[in-house]
Amino acid sequence: MIKTGIFPGSFNPIHIGHLALANWMCEYGGLDEVWFLVSPHNPLKEKSGLMDDQFRLLLVKESIASYPKFKVDDIEFSLPQPSYTINTLDALTQKHPENCFYLIIGADNWDKMPLWKDAEKLLNSYRILIYPRLNFPVNIPETFSLVRKVNAPLMEISSSFIRKSLKEGKDIRFFLPETIRPYLREICKQCSL
């Protein structure tokens, strides 16, 4: 079976922290590939501050195009919204039975797991890889045998940091993938909406 990491997110916008983590998961974390799933609406976040769905999808496609172990998937665009991870993973498993899916989440999201739809089913049905975040210790009960913490490098870059910096007129070109820098003006515009 193909070990496929599922990296869901708003990617509002995608940045080098996302790419470095996904790269680490493939090269050091035992995954064969990572699929970026652009979420139209995370139920635990406000939709109002999101850039256009298709634009965020385009930015991810442009960012990962040259790395063969990365793929973008827009399955959540065709599922009911808001996007619930359990529904997405069930749909992916049905559509791609040859893949063994690993959900990639941050330690900050691990803290929110009790708020997720069908959290118990998710924890007992799917493999979950938790990457470190500053000030979010990870405690995994022994009963969740499919969940493990990975020792990926700590990357404290966030999309909200990117948006704030762009609004302040900072030159953050090296925080964004080189392939999306031509879209910088449009990113700035959409971040200001």
- Domain coordinates of the chain in residue numbers? 2-191
144 CB burial (10 A radius; 0-12, 13-18, 19+): middle
At the fourth CATH level, the homologous superfamily of domain 2-191 is HUPs (3.40.50.620)
CB 19 within 8 A of CB 66: no
Least confident of 77-86, 104-113, 117-126: 77-86
Instruction: Give tens-digit pLDDT for 46-72.
Output: 666 789 999 999 999 999 999 999 999
What's the pTM?
0.94
